[in-house]
Amino acid sequence: MSFVALSLLCGVVPAMIAALPHQDRQLSGCDISNAKMTLPASQVALVEPNATTPSFIGLAIGVQNYTCSNTSTYTNVGAVAELFDVSCLYGKSAYTSVQTAAWDAWSAAPADVTAQDVIAFFSGAPEAKNAVLGQHFYVTNPITGTGVSPKWDFTSSGKTAGNPAAFVVGAKAGDIASPAGNTSNVDWLSVKPIQGDLASQIFRIDTTGGQPPASCTPGSAPISVKYTAKYWLFGGSVKK
Ligand SMILES: *[C@@H]1O[C@H](CO)[C@@H](O)[C@H](O)[C@H]1NC(C)=O
Ligand SMILES: *[C@@H]1O[C@H](CO)[C@@H](O)[C@H](O)[C@H]1NC(C)=O
Ligand SMILES: *[C@@H]1O[C@H](CO)[C@@H](O)[C@H](O)[C@H]1NC(C)=O
Ligand SMILES: *[C@@H]1O[C@H](CO)[C@@H](O)[C@H](O)[C@H]1NC(C)=O
């Protein structure tokens, strides 16, 4: 990808890339069919699938949304994130910390730059053809018609653009607290598809940020909390 157009994006992505070692600045377009996801030992809630190979490694830059419940705690009601292809970082030194570099840049961005702005910026940029995998957001549960479900939509970005099957609407299959032990970080998750062919399993790992304050005032406005994470997608029938 070209960094010239990216520099227009209020510095978020360029600042993230600038924080990477020189040899690690190629982010997208690498073969990850032999990549192995690292999960913490001594837990069984998240298990890497054996039979399928990873098809995408995405870096998410976005927000987790919360509303204040009448018990004065925040309830997660959605998320919006742009997913960047970071397949080339796998096996390199920057892989382990790219979500932290991204979070530092994202949290330093002006307050009026929203996750939607990040998505809108890249939707028109020629560089996005390689740099962006797709978007993560919430939709009405397509099976029950009530409640919301997370969606990963790669139908209009990257190499899967134009393929109407390149999405998954999912349901949580397992979760663990962030092994980083930092209560600011949202849980790591395993997600099973309820609709779509993009993947047979999705993991959210290496989370940074995204947790709401411990308490709130009932009736207060919804909040969006910035987060970054890696999403590993496995299986699926969509050609990349
Ligand atoms: C996955 O592979 C590991 C060893 O590599 C094995 O212990 C485990 O039983 C396998 N799991 C499944 C579901 O096949
Ligand atoms: C609090 O919220 C719950 C679920 O949203 C609802 O069932 C309950 O009636 C509410 N209680 C009060 C006191 O508003
Ligand atoms: C989350 O909040 C953002 C604003 O920060 C908004 O654009 C988006 O529509 C919200 N999405 C959900 C599912 O709540
Ligand atoms: C926890 O993570 C946040 C980012 O989410 C960071 O600002 C903070 O310094 C971290 N705290 C510790 C103790 O590592």
Per residue in 13-29, pLDDT (tens digit) is 666 666 767 766 788 89
> Do the Cβ atoms of 199 and 168 come closer than 8 Å?
yes
> Do the Cβ atoms of 201 and 186 come closer than 8 Å?
no
Burial of 231 (0-12, 13-18, 19+ CB in 10 A): buried
Q: H helices within the chain, ranges in order? A: 3-6, 12-18, 98-108, 115-124, 128-131
- In the prediction, which pLDDT does 129 show? 72
Whole-structure pTM value: 0.88
- In the prediction, which pLDDT does 85 show? 93
> Do the Cβ atoms of 232 and 86 come closer than 8 Å?
no
Residues whose beta carbon lies within 6 Å of some atom of ligand 4: 103, 182, 184-185, 208-209
Cβ contacts of residue 204 below 8 Å, gap of 6+? Answer: 60, 186, 187, 188, 189, 191, 229, 230, 231
- In the prediction, which pLDDT does 83 show? 95
How many other CB atoms are found less than 10 A from the CB of residue 71? 9
- In the prediction, which pLDDT does 222 show? 97
Using 50 as the pLDDT threshold, list the residues of the chain that sit under it.
1-8, 10
DSSP-derived 3-state class of residue 20: coil
> Minimum-distance ligand to the CA of 67?
3
- Rounded CA-CA distance 151/142 in Å is 11
Q: Which atom of ligand 4 lies closest to the CA of 182?
A: 1
- In the prediction, which pLDDT does 12 show? 66
Best residue among 61, 182, 211, 226 to mutate for probing ligand 4's pocket (most ligand atoms within 8 Å of CB) is: 182
Structure tokens at 159: 């190499």
- In the prediction, which pLDDT does 105 show? 87
Best residue among 61, 63, 153, 226 to mutate for probing ligand 3's pocket (most ligand atoms within 8 Å of CB) is: 63
- In the prediction, which pLDDT does 15 show? 67
Q: Which atom of ligand 3 lies closest to the CA of 77?
A: 14
How many other CB atoms are found less than 10 A from the CB of residue 190? 22
